[in-house]
Structure 1
Amino acid sequence: MENTRNVLDFFQKIVKEEPDVSAAVAAIRTLMNILENFGDGETLRGLSEELRKATEEMKKAECSITSVQSGCELFQRFITLTSLEQSNFKDCKEIMKKRGEIFLRKLQEARPKIARLGAPFILDGHKILTHSKSRVVLQTLVEAAVISKKRFHVFITESHPDLSGVAMRDELLKHSIGSTLILDSAMGYVMESVDLVLVGAEGVVESGGIINKIGTYTMALCAKEMHKPFYVLAESFKFVRLYPLNQRDLPQELKFSSTIIESNHSNLLDQHPQVDYTPPGYLTLLFTDLGILTPSAVSDELIKLYL
């Protein structure tokens, strides 16, 4: 790629033309493109800097910045695990490309694995509450309804301000899964009648808590108060090295788009954050491609990923 603008265009093209591909996977494919086209006469330091610049550029897009950050960090960690042992850059680059291809294959296998783990927790007659649109939650619901032939009903929040819950409901209708679209403010009203809550995550932090679409924390509070299981479905490439203690600890770049930050850098109090942080104490289980985890087990798995 000739410049950072090309990086952003390449990334956004994938996001726009392939709606089933997550932002993290699109970002990793963009980094792979840079790796494949990087000159053989360059250096590892130069490549590392190019990948870092590309990651920062992709954060300017209107997408899940948390998953872009975590996916890119894990990708760069994975491809450099053994590459530095080689005597010249060309050999290093070839090994990095092969490792990058392996990493991408693992990512493609993640969502079906999670769906198979989560589907048995959905039983006939269940009423399920979910928030916003999540590809992995959708695949899990389809796995339970279409493959396992279970009958259940899904309540979906509209998920303001982008109304992503509407898109989620449209997807469920395609698979003839019964669903009801509800106001975000109605989640407390509906909570007493549901059997469990299923949500995705834009990021899973070191404490075992999650960063996800604004309103997730409110839903988790309601579920905890009414003693409803709160299950999170998330791929391991969304495990991010952050340890927030509260909402204020979330970096601004994760809570607001780059456009909002640049135009309101002196005062963000009038802007609504795109995500919130849900502490681990409100989560029951996390379904990942690494297995079914308790929130307390996340830190161990995250350490393994970065070792």
Structure 2
Amino acid sequence: MATPVAAIKALLGVVERSNATTMMELQDELKQAREIVMQDFLKRQQEPWMHSSSVSSSSSSPGCGSSGGRSGARNMIALASGCDLFLKYATRTFLEHGDFVASRNQVVERGQRFAGISLAARDRIAHIGADFIQEGQTVLTHGWSRVVASILLKAAETKHFDIIFLEGRPDAAGAKAARAYASHESKIPTTVVLDSAMGYVMESVDVVLVGAEAVVENGGFVNKMGTYALATCAKAHGKPFYVASESYKFARLYPLNQQDLPVMDKLFEPVNLPENVRVENSPCDFTPAKFITLLFTDLGVLTPSAVSDELIRLYQ
């Protein structure tokens, strides 16, 4: 289960167990629960990054956003977005009813439906995105994403194609993903290349497909470090650049450059350098909308310009 979905289900549990007698009390409990969820996630970032070693099904394959350890810093944006979306969902229900009991029951009912929709999001995206992978193509991807895995494994049921993974430093997420795909029953031909070789291999690539930690209001998105460089390279070579993301990762952020991203823990990998040399490995970067061809979401196939409209609809 993706971290934001788990958080949504946790907040739903708060509503179901609450002894609050007013809407204000229940809203306060939800806000407190949100903070506890966020703080707990920060603590768990100290745990090992990845325990799974295989890609299983489209609903359970590991994703870059699900990682623990220091790399989990990337997923803080998606976690906050999922929590905030549920809180907005609950508040909207409160405003529709004057009676507290009716409002609470409605929140539980709608919350269960919302959690169910979120859980099913990845499967829907898999069916949508798989149609854009054609027979004999070569797909280039970056990082380890559950939703990207769901698309590729779905497409592999009826088509033959190759995957190229960027190694994905500093945590080597791409190399770990390639190891998992190589042992999967689909037997998709898989190649790993250095991150710095993206330009070298791009001319032999047909499409680029990546996941997202967050899709933001201006139509751009946040993802594992190196995605921005990959997108600019794909644009220069005229290759389609697709982004796969669940709608609960739509975040009310409007970054104009890399410095506008929320502060996140850095990823540091031991290197043999003098003490006076600073090493900085930021976990993610921002890719502007102009580099994106299409977004595959559980709301359908979207253009970057349609993201703002969907965000308004989700949060209104």
Give the TM-score band, short-chain normalised. Answer: 0.7 to 0.9
1:164 counterpart (145, 170, 173)? 173
After superposing the two structures, state which structure 1 stretch, 24-33 or 230-239, moved more: 24-33
* Aligned position for 1:183: 194
* Aligned position for 2:312: 303
What's the CA shift for 1:93?
2.8
What's the CA shift for 1:183?
1.4
Could you tell me which runs of 5 or more consecutive residues in structure 2 were left unpaired when the two chains were aligned: 46-71, 269-277
Q: Amino acid of the residue matched to residue 30 of structure 1?
A: A
- Note if contact 2:164-2:192 (Cα within 8 Å) is conserved in structure 1: yes
2: distance between equivalents of 1:27 and 1:184?
32
- Note if contact 2:15-2:26 (Cα within 8 Å) is conserved in structure 1: no
* Aligned position for 1:30: 10
Distance 1:129 1:81, change over 3 A: same
2: distance between equivalents of 1:45 and 1:137?
35
What's the CA shift for 1:116?
1.0
Distance 1:243 1:58, change over 3 A: farther
- Note if contact 1:59-1:258 (Cα within 8 Å) is conserved in structure 2: no
* Aligned position for 1:56: 38
Question: TM-score, with normalisation over the residues of structure 2?
Answer: 0.81
Describe the SS at the equivalent of 2:301.
strand
Matches within 5 A, 1:112-127: 112-127=123-138
* Aligned position for 1:203: 214
Spell out, residue by residue over 1:75-131, the C-alpha distance to the aligned partner (whole angstroms, 9 max, x if none). Answer: 111123223444554443332222111111111221111111111111111011000
Describe the SS at the equivalent of 2:92.
coil
Q: Amino acid of the residue matched to residue 12 of structure 2?
A: M
Matches within 5 A, 1:88-99: 89-99=100-110
How many residue pairs end up in the alignment? 274
What's the CA shift for 1:39?
2.1
Describe the SS at the equivalent of 2:242.
strand
What's the CA shift for 1:171?
3.2
Q: Amino acid of the residue matched to residue 26 of structure 2?
A: L
After superposing the two structures, state which structure 1 stretch, 84-93 or 170-179, moved more: 84-93
Q: Amino acid of the residue matched to residue 292 of structure 1?
A: V
2:284 counterpart (272, 275, 278)? 275
Spell out, residue by residue over 1:224-272, the C-alpha distance to the aligned partner (whole angstroms, 9 max, x if none). Answer: 111111000111111000000000111113xx2699xxxxxxxxx7432
Q: Share of identical aligned residues, percent? A: 45
Distance 1:258 1:100, change over 3 A: farther
1: distance between equivalents of 2:27 and 2:216?
28
Distance 1:270 1:171, change over 3 A: closer
Higher helix share: 1
What's the CA shift for 1:168?
1.8
Could you tell me which runs of 5 or more consecutive residues in structure 1 were left unpaired when the two chains were aligned: 1-20, 260-268
Q: Amino acid of the residue matched to residue 164 of structure 1?
A: A
- Note if contact 2:156-2:188 (Cα within 8 Å) is conserved in structure 1: yes
What's the CA shift for 1:58?
4.2
1: distance between equivalents of 2:227 and 2:267?
22
Describe the SS at the equivalent of 1:82.
helix
Q: Amino acid of the residue matched to residue 309 of structure 2?
A: D
Moved over 6 A (4+): none
Describe the SS at the equivalent of 1:251.
coil
What's the CA shift for 1:40?
3.7
What's the CA shift for 1:33?
2.7
